[in-house]
Structure 1
């Protein structure tokens, strides 16, 4: 198993990327790594090159670069070379903490779409923090496509199903459509059409519309939505969690000795709460719908998160998810064509 890594991507690259890869190498001896980037900078932080190949990349796609233009013009960048290694079969997956748009463009234009998928979707895993179903769920799309069509969201449900089934080992994943109410007739016309498509598909365990306030309560194993809404909801969850922690800390500090003593007694509990809300433990965001795993983690990721993400990529490769999704799309090509035609004819 070989993973191509953009060693120059991220706020703390290449130091934290290299240190994270070394942690992953020690945890997963069956994985080898290709680190693409400025060789002299990478080797400065590399303590042990066992199972690690450093490959020179003369260019770097910066966070502020226009994504598609950068991928097309910076042919010797670490992102482009890492994605090309996957395309040419020299690596099984591509990982980066760099420019999100450039990673998505490299996944789409270099690694390539799976036949039968119109638009890949960006997928993240989030925590379920209450009730007997406490664990995790998948949300797709969280930012790959701001303008999303009915067919795209339907295909997200298929891809999300295979991700939850193969990678998270959920036997019959519950699929929910993110909407502004749980009733079947909620939302705009596009959401109503998606609802009806999912409800009619016998291969999908559709549980209906779900509201954003219920996401962390385990209402579904897979939540599908358009990229604009998904990204806004994801950032809202992140912001709310951070704000609540700041509010609690501020109240404790302003509450005097008694509050501080109480907080000391509950330090372990607060730690457990923070850990349960930390979705970086599940790894990065996965671009589903391309021919090989393309995974992006947050630009501010440190070494432990890098290591967790490599574990996630390893699970994706082991799961044969992409192969199984390919088989389904091939076996149901005629049915999927009829669905596409029916959507076009209903406009």
Structure 2
């Protein structure tokens, strides 16, 4: 029921994802009066789905506290998350209110052991292919330990999605020199350099232009900076697309040039299209949650479901839990060894 278009986009998107992944099964939560007729028009999806009527849905402008207070236990968003908690579903996908979804997910699914705050990870198109950037909006400000946890979780996601044995991880900073940046970033970098962190290779600090270059597989930052970077990149992509359209329509010769290079422009548009990499992953929870852009189309919803399918099939939650437990165990052993040396 979420997003700017509700079931009229979600149901066609789910149908499109089902064509790509015939083994998918859906558990749908929403207002039957609104969604049932649309589902009837998608017989294959209807056959592969279980529909649960919900009398309440979270509005896009609801405050997280308001949505949690009024929509807990009854709303389509809450019941979607409960399906993951109970094991009825492997992953939750929603195009609804981001703040409400995060608040409900934290309350319903809880954070993993040793995780103080979750993060939202986004897939970022780069010159090399794709990278993962986190946090892009869940946590405003982060201490050194949280940045390290984000690094471990982002690397686990890269292994699950990109099948890279040891993803490279960089901390987003104002320069690559070790003396630059806030104390929290420098301390996180120091600990990542000295720690024997299985499952990732720490690259060091990266700057803003490294995001597009694809210098590392995983870029880690706190939520305020990450969200600004994400919105800036999306706005720049739309700006460039607008410039190209205006240039191609300016003269008859430009229009002819566009026709001759149409396939090249199509590839560029697909590369820059946010809907092709739609879906932010909530990391650090006892369950996988995918947040789709609210204003996306059916293709974007399908892309978010594609991501959910890959994350569930490749065991993202188990990878994150195993990596985090291993890292925190090694840190505890190091602390115990240091204390033993001091007492000796």
On the 8 A contact 1:283/1:310 being kept in 2, the answer is no
The equivalent of 1:210 in structure 2 is: 206
Moved more, 328-337 or 184-193: 328-337
On the 8 A contact 1:283/1:311 being kept in 2, the answer is no
Deviation string 1:292-318 (CA, Å, 9 cap, x unpaired) is 110001001211221222121111111
The equivalent of 1:56 in structure 2 is: 53
Q: Distance in 2 between matches of 1:27 and 1:250?
A: 35
1:333 Cα offset (Å):
3.4
Deviation string 1:163-201 (CA, Å, 9 cap, x unpaired) is 101221012101011111111111122221122122222
1:117 Cα offset (Å):
1.3
**TM-score, normalization by structure 2:** 0.91
The equivalent of 1:228 in structure 2 is: 224
The equivalent of 1:266 in structure 2 is: 261
Q: Distance in 1 between matches of 2:169 and 2:94?
A: 28
The equivalent of 1:36 in structure 2 is: 29
On the 8 A contact 2:119/2:135 being kept in 1, the answer is yes
Q: Distance in 2 between matches of 1:105 and 1:93?
A: 17
Q: Distance in 2 between matches of 1:231 and 1:80?
A: 25
The equivalent of 1:80 in structure 2 is: 78
**TM-score, normalization by structure 1:** 0.90
Moved over 4 A (4+): 337-341
Q: Distance in 1 between matches of 2:328 and 2:98?
A: 31
1:251 Cα offset (Å):
2.9
1:259 Cα offset (Å):
2.2
Moved more, 22-31 or 327-336: 327-336
1:253 Cα offset (Å):
2.9
The equivalent of 2:16 in structure 1 is: 23
**What is the aligned residue count?**
329
1:148 Cα offset (Å):
1.9
Q: Distance in 1 between matches of 2:302 and 2:228?
A: 27
Q: Distance in 1 between matches of 2:323 and 2:157?
A: 13
- In structure 1, runs of 5+ residues without a counterpart are 1-7, 342-347
Give the one of 278, 286, 289 matched to 1:291: 286
Closer, same or farther: CA 267–183 of 1 in aligned 2, 3 Å: same
RMSD: 1.8
Q: Distance in 2 between matches of 1:325 and 1:262?
A: 49
On the 8 A contact 1:146/1:227 being kept in 2, the answer is yes
On the 8 A contact 2:84/2:287 being kept in 1, the answer is yes
1:260 Cα offset (Å):
2.3
The equivalent of 1:247 in structure 2 is: 243
On the 8 A contact 1:113/1:291 being kept in 2, the answer is yes
The equivalent of 1:181 in structure 2 is: 175
On the 8 A contact 2:279/2:304 being kept in 1, the answer is yes
- In structure 2, runs of 5+ residues without a counterpart are 337-344
Q: Distance in 1 between matches of 2:77 and 2:213?
A: 37
Q: Distance in 2 between matches of 1:217 and 1:328?
A: 27
Task: Find the residue that maps to 2:47 and give its secondary structure.
Answer: coil
Q: Distance in 1 between matches of 2:331 and 2:136?
A: 24
The equivalent of 2:276 in structure 1 is: 281
1:257 Cα offset (Å):
2.0
